[in-house]
Amino acid sequence: MGETWTSAECAEFWGVKTPTFLGYVSRGQAPAPLDGTDGRRRLWDADEVRAFPRPGAGHSRAGAGPEAEALLDEMRAAAAAGDRERQRDLLADGRRRGLEISTMADALGVSRRTAHTWLAR
pTM of the predicted protein model: 0.51
Angle at Cα 99 formed by Cα 107 and Cα 71, nearest 5°?
Answer: 50
- What is the model's pLDDT at position 67? 81
Which CATH architecture describes the domain 4-51?
Orthogonal Bundle (1.10)
- What is the model's pLDDT at position 54? 77
- What is the model's pLDDT at position 61? 45
Q: Report how far residue 71's alpha carbon sits from residue 64's, in angstroms, rounded to the nearest whole number.
A: 10
**What is the DSSP-derived secondary structure letter of residue 121?**
-
Q: What is the pLDDT tens value at each position of the chain, 121 positions in all?
A: 689 999 999 988 888 889 989 999 998 889 999 986 666 778 999 999 988 887 765 554 445 567 888 899 999 999 999 999 999 999 999 988 878 888 899 999 999 899 999 998 8
